[in-house]
Amino acid sequence: MAITATGQMGDSLIEVMSGEFDMIVPRNYIYAQAPLTAIPSGGILQRGAGYSSLRIPTYHRLLPANSTRSEVTDISPVQLKDSQNTISHSLYGNAVQLSLKLQESAAKDVFQIAAQLVAENAAESIDNVARSVAIAGRAFELGNGSSRDAVNGTDGVITPSMLYNAAGYLASAPKLDGGLNQPTLGGGLAAIMRSAVIADLAENSSIILLGQYRDSAPETVLMGEVGAHMSGIRLIVSDYAKIFHGAGSTVGFACSSDNLSSAFSAGATSISVTTAISSGTGTYLTVGTRETTGNGEQSNVETIYVPAVSSGMDLVGGAPNGGLVYDHSSDTPVGGYNQVHAICVFGAKSLMKVHAGDIGAQPQLLPPDNDGLLNQWDSLRWRWYGGFGRWAENRLYRLEVGSNRQVLGF
Helix axes 11-27, 110-134, angle to 10 degrees: 30
Question: Which residues have C-beta within 8 Å of that of residue 71, sequence separation ≥ 6?
Answer: none
Q: Which among 365, 358, 380, 384 is positioned nearest to 114, based on CA atoms?
A: 380
Cβ 205 vs Cβ 233: under 8 Å: no
Q: Where does 140-243+341-347+394-401 sit in CATH, by number?
A: 3.30.2320
CA–CA separation, 410 vs 328, rounded Å? Answer: 13
Alpha carbon distance 314, 304 (integer Å): 10
Alpha-carbon Rg for the chain in angstroms: 25
Strands 258-259 and 225-229: unpaired
Report the Cα–Cα distance between both ends of the chain, in Å, rounded.
32
- Where along the chain do its domains lie? 11-57+87-136+350-392, 140-243+341-347+394-401, 250-337
Contact 194, 342 (CB under 8 A): no
Q: Environment class of residue 81 by beta-carbon count within 10 Å: exposed (0-12), middle (13-18) or buried (19+)?
A: exposed
Q: Which helix (H) or strand (E) holds 128?
A: helix 110-134
Residue 139 neighbours by CB distance under 10 Å: 14
In this prediction the pTM is 0.89
What pLDDT tens digit does each residue of the chain (410 aa) get?
444 334 445 566 677 788 888 899 999 999 999 999 999 988 888 887 667 777 888 888 898 988 898 889 998 888 888 888 888 899 999 999 988 888 888 877 888 888 889 999 999 999 999 999 999 999 999 988 778 887 877 778 999 999 999 999 999 999 998 777 667 788 899 999 999 999 999 888 888 888 887 766 656 789 999 999 988 899 999 999 999 999 988 875 556 678 999 999 999 999 999 888 876 666 899 999 999 988 899 989 999 999 988 889 999 999 999 999 999 999 999 988 889 999 999 999 999 999 999 999 999 999 888 888 998 888 899 999 999 999 999 999 999 999 998 999 99
Cis ω for the linkage preceding 35 (within 30 of 0): yes
Separation in Å, CA 28 to CA 46, 75, 224, 356, 395: 27, 54, 9, 21, 23
DSSP per position, 143-203: TTSS-GGG--TTT-B--HHHHHHHHHHTTTS---S-S-SS--TTTT-EEEE-HHHHHHHHH
